[in-house]
Structure 1
Amino acid sequence: MSTARTADFGVGLASVNHVGITVADLDRSIAFYRALTGREPAGPVELPDTPEMARCIGVEDAALRAATLRLRNINIDLVEYRRPASGQRLAVNAPTAVHLCFEVDDFDGVYERLSAAGIDFAGEPPPVGPEHGVPKTAYFTDPDGVHLELILPVGPLVRTGEG
């Protein structure tokens, strides 16, 4: 847990390279995210099984496999811990839980295709959308329970390329 002060750190971070998702079965997750994104991953690769790597990530005796899906604006790193195993899963409302949101232009079309492919959404999208100044959203999970979202953004959620 960070004890850093909350004033300006003076580093100006303004770009994200990737989001990392810990998965139980890397091959299964590669298949899921390949189907979802239409992208071929780089990897899988075995990460160095060394004490230095374990210290770097803060997990004693860690051994990992990973693959990267390169999207237009961010990479998704899928990481399987071969050891040590962990069975803990976080609910969407748990502190430290993270969700990954995919921006779409054709919300209804993507929602219908994913539904037809067997994706179980957490609930129906709200009945209002951009025409009312509200983003259109829907939530679902990957095979490990990672929280995912579709969004047709409006207002402050529209990325402007600034930064």
Structure 2
Amino acid sequence: MPTAHHVGVTVADLDRAVEFYQDVFDFPVLAEFSVSGEAFSTGVDVPNATGQFAHLDADGVRLELVEYDPEGETAHAERVNQPGAKHVGFEVENLDDFYRALPEQVTTLSAPQTTESGTRICFVQDPEGNLVEVLET
């Protein structure tokens, strides 16, 4: 049976994305590296691709941020109900404290809400516009 290795998010500015996930979630960087060459280009189906990677530790989940050259078209969704939308989710101990401590420049979709299941959620956007669910169970 396969095992999970990472969750990947493509970004336009790797340094800015790493800074966001370090500042907002306190995720340490595990590794930074670049990959190029024919096998990589063929594997990702992007001619002449080079990828700049950062792997961050999201409490045991490897978050892979990658900046591609050449850069493709923006593919993020603004709402979670759009087909093809994706998000990453991170749990915090106290959602209200987390929300109050967010830097002013972080875009949020709403203040924390309690769902019918009893889970408290809020969504933020990283600097690339990627959706990040923050929850308290």
**Normalised-by-shorter TM-score class:** 0.7 to 0.9
Task: Point out the structure with max Rg over C-alpha.
Answer: 1
Alignment of 1:1-163 (within 5 A): 12-13=1-2, 15-47=3-35, 49-91=36-78, 92-114=80-102, 117-118=103-104, 119-126=106-113, 128=114, 133-153=117-137
The 1:83–1:124 alpha-carbon spacing in structure 2 relative to 1, beyond 3 Å, is same
Structure 1: segments with no counterpart, 5+ residues? 1-11, 154-163
* Greater relative contact order (CA < 8 Å, ≥ 6 in sequence): 2
Structure 2: segments with no counterpart, 5+ residues? none
Q: Is the contact between residue 61 and residue 84 of structure 1 (CA under 8 Å) also seen in structure 2?
A: no
Structure 1 ranges of 4+ moved more than 6 A: none
Secondary structure of 1:60's counterpart equals coil
Q: Is the contact between residue 53 and residue 64 of structure 2 (CA under 8 Å) also seen in structure 1?
A: yes
Looking at structure 1, the residues matched to 107 and 54 of structure 2 have their Cα atoms a distance apart, in angstroms, of 25
Q: CA deviation at 1:50?
A: 1.0
Q: Please give the root-mean-square deviation of Cα atoms over the aligned residues, in Å.
A: 1.9
Counting matched residue pairs gives 135
TM-score, with normalisation over the residues of structure 1?
Answer: 0.74
TM-score, with normalisation over the residues of structure 2?
Answer: 0.87
- The sequence identity of aligned pairs, in percent, is 27
The 1:53–1:133 alpha-carbon spacing in structure 2 relative to 1, beyond 3 Å, is closer
Q: Is the contact between residue 99 and residue 111 of structure 2 (CA under 8 Å) also seen in structure 1?
A: no
